[in-house]
């Protein structure tokens, strides 16, 4: 599929629907590790993003950057700046036309933006642990010459595996680190949200 505003807007609206559906699941995870409002914050942020006039955006990169700015403004806590930074940085590097290597490059920029903003590394039990495997998967798919749809599906599965792998980790960053003794055995809600964004993207962009 071409790197169109329509494809990106469909992706982001699908994210909004998925956060509507899973708001309580995310809040429940966050009640254990944080303030209990991660799902509500993500739901509110993507509802605001879904209300944006994407028709006014000339490119998909512009649309992604607009959503990133909306998340920074609307989503509370640490999630707004982190997810907003991810979309702002990813949007700034978004490829036209879409290629596996191009999407890898854009998400890699987004990953490093998140790591810098949140001062998080792999294994800290954060959204990085869901996003980094996605970037790794896309790099491998680009090297292997896989078709876009196949590469995106593999990347989404890698993100879900990374999400699940946060369960046994000890939280080292954010509010979850303040409850580190309770964090083992619980999936990080931010990692769940990142996997939602990647999975819906794989469906709509591939």
**How many other C-beta atoms can be found within 10 angstroms of the C-beta atom of residue 196?**
24
Q: How far apart are CA 144 and CA 136, in angstroms?
A: 12
Residue 92 CB partners (closer than 8 Å, separation 6+) = 61, 65, 109
On whether the 5-205 domain is CATH 1.25.40.340, my answer is yes
Q: What is the mean pLDDT of residues 49-75?
A: 85
**What's the whole-number average pLDDT of the chain?**
91
Unique residue bearing structure tokens 């490093």:
112
Do residues 5 and 57 touch, judged by C-beta distance below 8 A? yes
Length of the chain: 206
What is the DSSP code (8-state) at residue 9? H
pLDDT at 3 over 60: no
pLDDT at 151 over 80: yes
């Amino acid at each position: 599929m071409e790197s169109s505003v329509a494809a990106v807007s469909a992706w982001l609206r699908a994210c909004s629907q998925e956060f509507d559906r899973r708001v309580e699941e995310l809040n429940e995870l966050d009640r254990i590790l944080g303030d209990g409002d991660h799902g509500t914050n993500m739901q509110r942020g993507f509802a605001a993003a879904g209300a944006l006039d994407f028709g006014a955006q000339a490119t998909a990169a512009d649309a992604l950057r607009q959503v990133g700015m909306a998340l920074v403004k609307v989503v509370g806590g640490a999630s707004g700046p982190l997810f907003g930074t991810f979309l702002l940085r990813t949007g700034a590097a978004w490829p036209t036309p879409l290629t596996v290597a191009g999407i890898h490059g854009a998400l890699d920029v987004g990953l490093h933006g998140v790591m810098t903003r949140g001062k998080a590394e792999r294994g800290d039990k954060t959204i990085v642990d869901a996003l980094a495997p996605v970037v790794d998967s896309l790099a491998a798919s680009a090297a292997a010459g896989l078709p876009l749809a196949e590469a995106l599906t593999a990347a989404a599965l890698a993100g879900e595996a990374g999400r699940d792998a946060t369960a046994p980790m000890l939280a080292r960053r954010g509010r979850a680190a303040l409850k580190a003794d309770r964090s083992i055995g619980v999936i990080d809600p931010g990692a769940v949200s990142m996997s939602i964004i990647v999975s819906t993207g794989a469906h709509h962009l591939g």
